[in-house]
Chain A
Amino acid sequence: MNAAAIKKILGYLRPDGQLGIRNHVAIIYTVGCSLVVATKLHNLFPVGTQLFGIPSGCRLREPPLRKAVALGKHSSYAAALVVGLGCEGTEAYMVAEEIAKSGKPVEAIKINEEGGDLKTIEKGSRILTRLLQHASLAERSEMSPADLIVSTECGGSDATSGLAANPVTGAAGDLLIEAGGTYIHAETAELMGCADSLAARAVNDEVAHNIREAIVEAERRSFESGEFSWGYGNTLGGLTSIEEKSYGCLGKSGTKPLQGVLHEFERPPGKGYYIQIEQREAGSFGGDPEGVNQFAACGAHIALFTTGCGSTTGGLIPVIKVIANPKRMQLIEDNADFDATPIIRGEKTIRVMGEELYKEILAVAAGKVTKSEIYRHYEA
């Protein structure tokens, strides 16, 4: 498919008015104890379903619950099946009811009410059959770039991330915003030393205050725990300090005014550029897939993902993997979606490649599948 030929994005219109670019049925486990049955259901219906849930025990844990509900309401899902054990704090019918407020069909089953694995799988299979047929009848509606929420994650950074891959996503984000769309990034732990430049871009004093607070808080937490966002690959790739890595990360932000700071899996209240504050202990593992899924929980349709070291992970929404390191690109081309190495070789400018990446975003919105989707890198 030629990205330049994309003229029309035909989205999926959801009952709450959201427009989705993908059309799945969500299978949501509400406790670690229902993971195996939920996984078996997912494996029985691998086409058209995605699996995620609440990786906890008996006790109700708020952050993963809120994330699962926000994800369940995501525009990618036409319907959802909630699978619980029955005695956990995160009650399956309650989760289903919350998600159903978005107007989509949501059903719930409990393993210890149904009578064990086999009966739950049988009943769950019938429900999924029905929900998949429902999904196939989803109403289509034309979308414009202004309807899109695009996010950016960086993982496995090296010097090329800051020199090319991040700035190119920032340039594409600028173009999306000029077309009326919404662009978000996160990772405040990788914005150390960037508070002044971001506050200067805030639309008002309150937003300036909020982003300063968020960065100070991330810094405080890092000093307290002694844990900084740093891997040996960063050192190996030539990065010397968290500031150097952060200035490189700031390249993701583009140049547009900062409209606000997003907390608690809220959707961006308006259009333009936002920074999301990542929620701790909301997922089964940290790192980049969790970052991608938290963007999804804020309503993001697509995640751009820059990597210099060659991270291969994805998430629940389509991930466009951007690589600017020529050696890494050669090695890991199979997992790459966008080749930004011409910038490092001095053959193309960030601006030109930003336009190409923006076209790729529109192509993916129009249905072009990314490597993360083809390889089913639906980490959650």
Chain B
Amino acid sequence: MSRRTILLHAKDNVATALTDLKKGEQVNASLDDISVDVTLREDVSFGHKYALRDIAKGEEVIKYGLPIGKALNDIRAGDWVHIHNCRSERYGPHDLKREKNIIEGSKK
């Protein structure tokens, strides 16, 4: 069976979906001797990220072992992590309504 998720670095607190994942699914992300199982609390599309563990508001979201932004609110393990709950100190799309409409639209 092909991989469903990818974990890029031991420090990461998010993993990336390699296929469209559904709310309620139990998914595994592994790298070397790390293996994390979570139940998804939301749909997570191909290429998008979900939290491997709870991430507190203000805490760094880590991918590739490096910070990609900070949590805008408390994120729970299994949550979809994107522009609605993670913000870059430098730049990320901040027009949430417009961006979210595009993303929601793409799911249909």
Is B99's CB within 8 Å of the partner chain A? yes
How many Å from the CB of A172 to the closest CB on chain B? 20
B 3-32 binary contact with A (CB < 8 Å = 1; else 0): 100101000000011100000000000000
B81 sits at the interface (CB 8 A): yes
From the candidates B8, B16, B67, B83, name the one contacting A243 in the complex (CB within 8 A). B67
Which of A230, A237, A243 interacts with B47 by CB under 8 Å?
Answer: A237
List B contacts of A160 (CB < 8 A): 47
Query: Cβ of B99 and Cβ of A240 under 8 Å apart?
Result: no
Most interface-central of A238, A308, A347 (chain B CB within 10 A): A238
Interface-central residue, A162, A192, A219, A244, by most chain B CB under 10 Å? A244
Chain A interface main SS type: helix
Selected from B2, B3, B63, B99, the residue in CB contact (under 8 A) with A244 is B63
Instruction: Digitize A289-327: 1 where CB-to-B-CB distance is under 8 Å, 0 elsewhere.
Output: 000000000000000000010000000000000000101
Instruction: For B99, give the chain A residue with the smallest CB separation.
Output: A235
Cβ contact within 8 Å between A242 and B3: no
Contact at B90–A242, with CB atoms within 8 Å? Answer: yes
A228 adjacent to B91 (CB under 8 Å): yes
CA distance A193 to B64 in the complex (A): 12
| Interface bracket on A | 20 to 34
| B34 surroundings in chain A (CB, below 8 A) | none
Q: Is the CB of B103 within 8 A of A236?
A: yes
Neighbour of B91 across the interface among A236, A242, A248, A327, CB < 8 A: A242
* Chain B residues whose CB sits within 8 angstroms of the CB of A327 once the complex forms: 46
Of the candidates B47, B61, B69, B91, the one whose C-beta lies within 8 Å of that of A325 is: B47
Interfacial residues of chain B within 86-108, with CB under 8 A of chain A in the complex? 86-88, 90-93, 99, 102-103, 106
* Nearest CB of B to A122, in Å: 53
Closest-CB distance, B65 to chain A (whole angstroms): 9
Q: Which residues of A contact B86 (CB under 8 A)?
A: 240-241
Residues of A near any B CB (own CB < 8 A) = 158-160, 162-163, 192-193, 219, 222-223, 228, 230, 232, 235-238, 240-244, 247-248, 308, 325, 327, 344-347
Q: What residues make up the interface of B, taking CB atoms closer than 8 Å to A?
A: 2-3, 6, 8, 16-18, 45-49, 61, 63-64, 66-69, 81-83, 86-88, 90-93, 99, 102-103, 106
